[in-house]
Amino acid sequence: MTSKSRVNIGLVVLAIIILIVAGYFYIKNTTHYGDVEFPGSSGSTSGGAGGKLGVGLTIEFADGTTKEVDPSQIQYTLFPLTVYFQGQAIKSVTWHAYAQLDWVGEMTSLQLSGPMTVKSNTGVTLRSEGMLRTYTSSNMPNKNAWFEIWSFSLTAEDIEYSLPQTGDYTLTCTINVTATANFSSGLQSVKTASASANLPIRIEVSGITSLLCDIQVQVFK
């Protein structure tokens, strides 16, 4: 083996050693919480927050039965959850905004705010509201547990009033949330996320029916 080859091999080995050491210190100094990363060690108390956002539905059918679909039923964040209804007639739909949060440090206050809107695929806004929820140390939501931020309902009559023509539509509920968390250390963490749910419907003279809905979870960034 020539001296030039030995030098090249030595440089490759040195580069591998450097990558291994850098990876070790990165893992050691980064704390992972679900789908969110926070800088600092497991003993960090400076503060940091993150989590997930999702839309849920409670559908009341004409026969009096109900079906609830919410983000806690999703096993894998990357894939939507589709639930089938077998073309049942709808009496009303309640849309829910849900969040699941995690944090490092002592959170003293939390504010969740932003719009929640239901639109049709034809561009008609059926309902829109501004969400605002404030939490303090006395009523802070539990870590890593889904909780409701906001909700509102649309009856079949509401939907038919906004969409007077018979035919097939898709109702999409979109939520855009800004989470502002304050910590005892003085740190403020601001994260945003958007999530949505789709409900394809058919409007006929006899009423409104639906075959399915789909929801998906998004991560605060």
Residue 193 in domain: yes
Based on the fold, state whether residues 87 and 139 are members of the same structural domain. yes
Q: What are phi and psi of 148, to 5 degrees?
A: -85, 130
Residue 68 in domain: yes
Based on the fold, state whether residues 62 and 3 are members of the same structural domain. no
Based on the fold, state whether residues 15 and 81 are members of the same structural domain. no
Based on the fold, state whether residues 129 and 78 are members of the same structural domain. yes
Residue 39 in domain: no
pLDDT at 85: 85
Among 177, 164, 60, 68, which residue's Cα sits nearest to residue 120?
A: 164
Based on the fold, state whether residues 100 and 201 are members of the same structural domain. yes
| pLDDT tens digits for range 101-156 | 999 899 999 999 999 999 999 999 999 999 999 999 999 999 999 999 999 999 99
Q: How many domains does the chain have?
A: 2
pTM for the whole structure:
0.77
Residue 210 in domain: yes
Q: Which letter does DSSP use for residue 64 in this model?
A: S
**Buried b vs exposed e over 10-49: b needs ≥16 C-beta within 10 Å?**
eeeeeeeeeeeeeeeeeeeeebebebbebeeeeeeeebbb
Range of the domain at 113: 44-219
pLDDT at 42: 33
pLDDT at 27: 42
Spell out, as residue ranges, where the chain has pLDDT lower than 50.
Answer: 4, 7, 12, 21-22, 24-46
Q: What are phi and psi of 143, to 5 degrees?
A: -65, 140
